[in-house]
Structure 1
């Protein structure tokens, strides 16, 4: 086993314990067995798949802040910080189960979306609520006696609301029934990706590890937020780019942004430089559900040299973020390495 596989296994072992704990809560409520089995299946199907980057980032960040590697954390410390990581993975699962229904997506992480699993259907709406509710049952059990318990609750509630605001703007901007490219703009795209992705995927893991490490001043939280939010925006722009230019094998799903009329970075760049003829092609083909229209749009993106625009953007944002990281004040225990680790994970990724 590689060290990465060992780390992943240790992390997943904590999830298995949490599933048992959640099961015990349902048993204590005298919940019928069929409902308990359903909830366990929901937890196992939707939470531990994927790369687990957000959850593992909490562990890695905590280790860096405490001058150790993750494998040198005591069992007690490791379990506690891994639980915070799993709370983010549960939050992610909650968003994805609902998001897949809203987008009518077919696959997620190489398997059928939960609502398409036989017998699930609209029950997935309630299942998504239960994934979110599980976060707060877990936090109560493991952190209620800690001085930063309210900070954790506050952070999860705020970041959840921010993510939902991003999703709202995404949905009203990219109506699948009525395609209107004049609704799109880079400013809207920026708001959507910052609120829908950057807060919970980048800021939340680091802030949780900081609270557990006793680094919680407003100035330190602001320092990391000022780097992690633009980094999260870069990550999502990269995601938009890969959705269009990556292969399903690379990205673990079939890219649907063009057919779904998404207000993605790629279409916004195309709209900025489109000639009247090119704009007409986009108006006639973007957001259409058929393969031919999608291929026409992809071809146009290639002709417009969107790939080069993306490569130039990537180099400039990474240079800017590296300079910002260099200026971090480490006097209260914050470490530049935390932010460098995040940047290195994102830079030039292909999936």
Structure 2
């Protein structure tokens, strides 16, 4: 497997290029999986489905495994085997992300994803996409079995992915039922509810999982890194608050999407903050206009956000959160772990600068 990395000199090759190349290795293996007797049509379908859903994003989660592992190893040049294993774990996270997004788009009745129609919106796909999501999820243990079964942390990897998947699916449930209730009564949108949704739906798989994979590869016991998990989960909350802010106040050309949290009745950080600060008349404006697709309704909500100075509220939150996170990170005894955590934090902080 690692022979595919030229000359074994991973540091001489662009990490992202190597990472993308390993996707095609893994896809080829999956399309020849001996556990299923493929027909030409089924192999062609899965081939197309994978290319459509797995590698199209920014790949930040997957690449973070490679970057984190290299930092944990003191920045030394990684061997070909180490690069391949780190990339394979990174792709398992990207597969997990694809699985979540394919099903999430169906649940949200979304139209576009990553600049193209959602997978289920494609002709001849429709609700076959639900089974495709299940296949994406089942590819993860196939990859793990193929490349990690003989390694001492194999069972830990299985436990980790299973637990994070459960946490994320539970967070999605919270999001769905909260939105359903919020559509009837906006007062259901509170900060504790928001934080719980974000923690489980986003933070564990987007922030903790890549670092946990790198720690396991490094021979560490995850039970010794509870504080690191807590920092990463808090960082994930910070990331989502920033994402909610940019959804409303960010430049679509810069952030790469047009925000629709207001129209979609999302339990967003902004609406939670607005509800905490609004007087009776302002709450009536929110109730009348939040969750409506009409552009005038959206404009009224955004105007209310400005009246409540939520841009300043966000700036204060960001400054306080950043300082708190830096303090927690610098209390970590391992300099390498500190560097991993700071690299995550700086990427988030630079996203809007």
- C-alpha deviations, 1:276-320, integer Å up to 9, x for none? 111000000101232221121112112211111001100100001
Q: For 2:140 and 2:249, how far apart are their aligned partners in 1? A: 35
Distance 1:173 1:88 in 2: 26
1:91 is matched with 96
Equivalent residues in 2 for 1:99-138, closer than 5 Å: 99-138=104-143
- What is the deviation of 1:110? 1.5
Please point out which of 4, 7, 32 is paired with 2:15: 7
Q: With structure 2 as the length reference, what TM-score do the two structures score?
A: 0.93
Q: Closer, same or farther in 2 for the Cα pair 1:259/1:170, shift >3 Å?
A: same
**Aligned residue number for residue 290 of structure 1:** 294
Structure 2: 5+ residue stretches without partners: 1-10
The TM-score normalised by the length of structure 1 is: 0.94
What is the CA–CA distance in structure 1 between the aligned matches of 2:292 and 2:180, rounded to whole Å? 12
Work out whether residues 47 and 89 of structure 1, in 8 Å CA contact, stay in contact via their aligned partners in 2: yes
Runs of 4+ that moved beyond 3 A: 176-179
Q: Equivalent residue for 1:324?
A: 328
SS at match of 2:74: coil
Contact 1:65 1:338 in 2 (8 A): yes
Separation of aligned partners in 2, 1:82 and 1:314: 32
Pick from 30, 37, 40: which aligns with 2:37?
30
Contact 2:182 2:189 in 1 (8 A): no
Which structure 1 residue ranges, 5 or more long, are not aligned? none
- For 2:137 and 2:294, how far apart are their aligned partners in 1? 35
Q: Provide the rounded CA distance (Å) in 2 between the counterparts of 1:266 and 1:279.
A: 13
> Could you report, residue by residue, the CA deviation over 1:199-243 in whole angstroms, capped at 9, with x for unpaired residues?
000000000100010111512x21211210100100011111111
1:339 aligns with 2:341: yes
CA–CA distance in 1 between the matches of 2:46 and 2:257?
Answer: 25
Alignment partner, residue 233 of structure 2: 229
Count of matched residue pairs: 343
Contact 1:176 1:287 in 2 (8 A): no
Q: Where in structure 2 are the equivalents of 1:167-206 lying within 5 Å?
A: 167-175=172-180, 178-206=183-211
| Cα pair 1:108 1:253 within 8 Å, conserved | no
Query: Does the C-alpha gap of structure 1 residues 122 and 217 become closer, same or farther in structure 2, counting only changes over 3 Å?
Result: closer
Partners of 1:8 and 1:176 lie apart in 2 by 42
Instruction: From the superposition, tell whether residues 290 and 346 of structure 1 become closer, same or farther in structure 2 (CA, over 3 Å).
Output: same
Shift of the 123–143 alpha-carbon distance from structure 1 to 2, 3 Å rule, reads same
1:160 aligns with one of 165, 169, 176: 165
| Matching residue of 2:5 | none
